[in-house]
Amino acid sequence: MTAINFSAQWTPALQSVRPSTPSLIRRVYECVKAILFYIPNYFIQKFINRTVLPVSTLPLSQIRRIDQVFRQTMSTSSYNVSELKITTPDHVQLQGHFIKHKNHDTNPHSRVLLLFHGNDTIYQDMGHLWLSHLLQKANVPYSFVLCNLRGTGMSQQEPISETAHVIDADSIYQTIKDNLRVAEERIDIYGHSLGGALAAHLKKLHPHTQGRLFLDRTFSSLGKEISYVLENTPTLFQKVAAYITKRYGWEYNVYDKLSSIQDKVHVFTHIQDGSIPLHCSLGGLVQQTNPHPQTITVHHFSGGQDPHCDPLIYTSPVSTTYTPLSKPSTQILLDAFRYQTPTLQAGG
């Protein structure tokens, strides 16, 4: 298996999240504050780890075995697998894979789908596998890029804020654009759950590229999701928890990001989702407010054993803003991923 190495840069898109160099007085202040608030910080970080971070506590030996199975599974007659080793602008090493379709270089309409997984998992668990099966039926060849964010799988260093996630995401995006030489209009972005929040933030940094955004069972804002997770606690405690999480650099207001995105967005929501129920979901809020009806399409699904994680191809469509309900889930999803060009040939 070949390895692809790439070092990302501080591009203009990342300037809004680029950390500034603190003064000596500021560094001393931060050190004193860390010592004084060590105990409360410890418990707050534990709470954030359980609710926000895409952490995986698997031992490295087990991750390597899972990674081997992943590579064997994805290496087929239709795909070649290359390892990605990406260095972010703040010098963190990320590990991932490029799953290249056999017709990627020969079909001018081929596309790349950048996938972001949810929290408490690694992409090698193959929760995305249903997408690769689905898109083999697409009208263009789809290749895939998957990476574990920092602190997950074989990637380094735990993130300390949402900003760290965004730097990771843009570093992967730079790899696709500058190393794999894929034009931005051929890059689509998909995210599930927390990964959808990150996908929306990344797309906000690149809002006019003509690449599409697919948000699968994602919350409308992290604050609303935290209030739901803590719904059996006093309201004041919910508000304090949401405030602290935001104060520690984790906001993820996905709904607000949509206002900056002018390319096509598909939002997938499961009406029986117990992890992100309809009143917390991005799809539920968009359906109520309909901020950009020309560019945002909401699809509601139901059924399945695990409403939050089940492949959508095994669920039933309930409603959508543009497709008749007589179509099965597979066809609705293929329609969403369909690339509209009158002279397209089959992906093969």
Determine the pLDDT at residue 56: 54
Q: Is the pLDDT of residue 342 over 50?
A: no
Determine the pLDDT at residue 36: 65
CA distances from 304 to 97, 263, 272, 311, 320 (A): 29, 30, 9, 8, 18
Determine the pLDDT at residue 218: 96
Average pLDDT, the chain: 87
d(CA 215, CA 223): 18
Q: What does the pLDDT look like over 14-26, one tens digit per residue?
A: 988 887 776 778 7
> Is 30 contained in some domain?
no
- 321 vs 143, residue with greater confidence: 143
Residue with tokens 């998909």: 190
Model confidence band, residue 209 (pLDDT cutoffs 50, 70, 90): confident
The number of angstroms, rounded, from the C-alpha of 152 to the middle of its chain's C-alpha atoms is 14
> Is 21 contained in some domain?
no
Query: What is the domain-level CATH number for residue 125?
Result: 3.40.50.1820
Q: Tell me the residue ranges of DSSP E strands in the chain.
A: 3-7, 79-87, 93-101, 111-116, 142-148, 187-192, 213-216, 265-270, 296-302, 316-320
Q: What does the pLDDT look like over 24-43, one tens digit per residue?
A: 787 776 677 667 666 666 66
Model confidence band, residue 212 (pLDDT cutoffs 50, 70, 90): very high
Q: Is the pLDDT of residue 331 over 50?
A: yes
> Is 193 contained in some domain?
yes
Determine the pLDDT at residue 344: 42
> Is 26 contained in some domain?
no
CA angle 277, 279, 283 (to 5 degrees): 85
> Is 33 contained in some domain?
no
In terms of DSSP bridges, do strands 142-148 and 93-101 run parallel, antiparallel, or are they unpaired? antiparallel
Percentage helix, strand, coil, to 5, in the chain? 40, 20, 40
The average pLDDT across 121-131 equals: 86
Q: Looking at mean pLDDT, say which of 144-158, 176-190, 329-343 comes out highest.
A: 176-190
Q: Which amino acid is at 339?
A: Y
Determine the pLDDT at residue 27: 72
Determine the pLDDT at residue 345: 44
> Is 347 contained in some domain?
no
Asked if 248 and 161 count as a contact pair (C-beta separation under 8 A), the reply is yes
Q: Is the pLDDT of residue 7 over 60?
A: yes
> Is 115 contained in some domain?
yes
Q: Which amino acid is at 39?
A: I
Tokens of 314: 């095994």
Q: What total number of domains does the chain contain?
A: 1
Determine the pLDDT at residue 5: 96
Task: Please name the residue ranges forming H helices in 248-300.
Answer: 254-257, 282-289
Tokens of 281: 């979901």
Asked if 87 and 168 count as a contact pair (C-beta separation under 8 A), the reply is no
Q: What residue numbers bound the domain in which 78 lies?
A: 3-15+42-337
d(CA 20, CA 201): 20
Tokens of 143: 């290749």
Report the DSSP beta bridge partners of residue 27: none
DSSP 23-66: PHHHHHHHHHHHHHTHHHHHHHHHHHHHHT-------HHHHHHH
> Is 291 contained in some domain?
yes
**φ, ψ for residue 290, nearest 5 deg:** 50, 60
